[in-house]
Amino acid sequence: MRLLIALLLPWLTFFTISRPIAGIICLILQITVIGWLPATIWAVYALSQYKTDQKIAEAIRRR
């Protein structure tokens, strides 16, 4: 679901992963037509990093 949000509304992705400042910057990028693609790529990348961080934290908790 977050991936779909990252593709359609990139700025909202940052708010769902607790990065509001990045979300505001991404919203400013998204407002411009040229900035939509970089904002989307940035949001998808940040989402993948967030998922990786969660997996690492879970692995550490299991130890």
Question: Coil, helix or strand for 24?
Answer: helix
State pTM to two decimals: 0.82
In angstroms, the CA 21 to CA 10 distance is 13
Residue whose token pair is 């969660």: 54
Q: Are 10 and 39 in contact (CB under 8 A)?
A: yes
In angstroms, the CA 61 to CA 63 distance is 5
Phi, psi of 32 (to 5 degrees): -80, 145
Tell me how far apart the 2 most distant CA atoms of the chain are, in Å: 47
Query: How do residues 2-15 score in pLDDT, each as one tens digit?
Result: 888 888 889 999 99
Query: How do residues 14-63 score in pLDDT, each as one tens digit?
Result: 999 999 999 999 999 888 878 889 999 999 999 999 999 999 999 999 88
